[in-house]
């Protein structure tokens, strides 16, 4: 049965790829677009209430894999040969007073909450699906400071990396280890200051990584920048997360120091290459002392047609002491997939992936894992 399901999903992926194969390598064009930064499914406002725009989506997936039961540490589509309600997402957004914005995103419910929830906020859930208010913040734009200042206060996505918690904002269904095993969200304040049209500073003070209001809170600092080079084809992003860098053994809470660099290059009108390098460490980890990890991730994204995107991701993630994933060793992962906008409300994403660990057997007693996934996002 497993072989039959895997074969069926392979056929779906290969068939969809064949339909667009003639456009896989487009020519170079100076009018390139940032395919990686743009959502693969255009957001559409469904409702309005009290001046607030309400929208959302439901994400369903089925992953056939060689590991029985659970594919973790791979994720978010971590269940083997089972259907998953990954996200039932509610987005609330509103702008008032010419520059004040309120925004909230909820997993309401979904299995992805197991990865994204913060200590001190809805953290007593233990079911397969649960609730997580992954973002709720107020922001304000202020003129007269550089080329513009934006202040944000609340819980927000950790401002680094390439991938997003929000499912349809990624071409691929699964996530890199670098994304899964580093901070998802921060709670506190964040400032963005545009020095000019090409350079933006980012800095903030938060109360920890993946922690809400809790007795373990401690000052944690964010600092980085976004730089668009003058060639209009290359951008550089950097962010450092710096707290005390010590594992809280009393509350079993991580407080990593993380340094992330992303370089994005527009190769043509429809092709974009992104490289990410990340390093992190944490002291006082039981049985280890100072644990450290690093990763290199490469993405190639194609805008094949108005309604279909493709992406390949290759990653090396070295979890030297098993501090991040629970299984030490060098992970190598290769994933490829499509994002096909069937219509304004339906996104179809098939994906193939292979994972390997050099030192441990994290995948149900095996070093390797093969998966084939079919994912549906219904926008409402």
Residues of the chain with pLDDT under 70: 1-46
Give the C-alpha distances (Å, rounded to integers) separating 333 from 76, 153, 186, 357: 14, 36, 27, 9
Task: Note the pLDDT of residue 224.
Answer: 97
pLDDT at 47: 77
What six digits make up the tokens of 204?
Answer: 């903030």
Query: What is the pLDDT, as a whole number, of residue 257?
Result: 96
Q: Residue 35 has what pLDDT?
A: 35
Q: Which residues of 156-187 are buried (b: 16+ CB within 10 A; e: fewer)?
A: bbbbbbbbebbbbebbbbbbbbbbbbbbbbbb
Per-residue pLDDT, 52: 87
Give the CA distances from residue 116 to residues 82, 89, 211, 296, 380, in Å, rounded to whole numbers and listed in that order: 21, 13, 10, 22, 23
> CA-CA distance, 24 to 147, in Å (whole number)?
39
Q: Do residues 6 and 64 lie in contact, with contact meaning Cβ atoms separated by under 8 Å?
A: yes
Spatial distance between the Cα atoms of 257 and 16, rounded to a whole number of angstroms: 42
Distance, CA of 172 to CA of 374 (rounded, Å): 10
User: Which value, in Å, is the radius of gyration of the alpha carbons in the chain?
Assistant: 20
DSSP 3-state of 169: helix
Domains of the chain: 2-379 (2.40.160.10)
The sign of the dihedral angle between the CA atoms of 112, 113, 118, 119 is negative
- Structure tokens that stand for 116 in this block: 């994204």
What pTM, to 2 d.p., does this model score?
A: 0.86
Backbone angles phi, psi at 207, to 5 degrees: -105, 20
Alpha helices in the chain (DSSP H): 2-19, 113-116, 177-180
């Amino acid at each position: 049965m497993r072989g039959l399901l895997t074969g069926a999903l392979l056929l779906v992926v290969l068939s969809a790829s064949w339909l667009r194969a003639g456009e896989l390598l487009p020519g170079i064009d100076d009018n390139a677009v940032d395919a990686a930064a743009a959502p693969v499914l255009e957001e559409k406002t469904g409702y309005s209430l009290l001046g607030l725009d309400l929208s959302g989506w439901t994400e369903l997936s089925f992953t056939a894999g060689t590991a029985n039961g659970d594919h973790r540490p791979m994720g978010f589509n971590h269940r083997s040969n089972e259907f998953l309600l990954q996200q039932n997402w509610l987005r609330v957004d509103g702008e008032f007073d010419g520059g004040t914005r309120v925004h909230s995103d909820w997993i309401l419910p979904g299995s992805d909450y197991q990865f994204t929830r913060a200590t001190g906020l809805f953290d007593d859930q233990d079911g397969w699906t649960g609730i997580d208010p992954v973002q709720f913040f107020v922001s304000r734009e202020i003129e007269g400071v550089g080329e513009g200042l934006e202040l944000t206060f609340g819980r927000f996505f950790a401002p680094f990396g390439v991938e997003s918690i929000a499912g349809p904002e990624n071409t691929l269904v699964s996530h890199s280890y670098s994304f899964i095993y580093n901070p998802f969200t921060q709670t506190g304040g964040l400032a963005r200051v545009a020095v000019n049209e090409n350079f933006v500073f980012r800095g903030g003070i938060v109360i920890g990584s993946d922690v809400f209001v809790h007795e373990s809170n401690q000052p944690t600092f964010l600092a980085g920048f976004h730089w668009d080079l003058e060639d209009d084809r290359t951008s550089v992003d950097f962010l450092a997360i710096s707290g005390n860098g010590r594992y809280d053994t009393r509350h079993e809470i991580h407080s990593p120091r993380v340094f992330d660099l992303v370089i994005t290059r527009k190769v043509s009108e429809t092709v974009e290459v992104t490289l990410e390098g990340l390093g992190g460490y944490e002291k006082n980890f039981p049985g280890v002392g100072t644990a450290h990890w690093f990763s290199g991730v490469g993405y190639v994204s194609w805008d094949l047609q108005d309604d279909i995107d493709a992406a390949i991701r290759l990653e090396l993630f070295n979890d030297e002491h098993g501090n991040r994933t629970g299984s030490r060793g060098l992970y190598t992962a290769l994933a490829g997939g499509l994002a096909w906008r069937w219509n304004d409300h339906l996104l179809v994403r098939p994906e193939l992936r292979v994972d390997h660990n050099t030192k441990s057997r994290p995948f149900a007693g095996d070093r390797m894992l093969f998966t084939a996934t079919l994912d549906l996002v219904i926008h409402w």
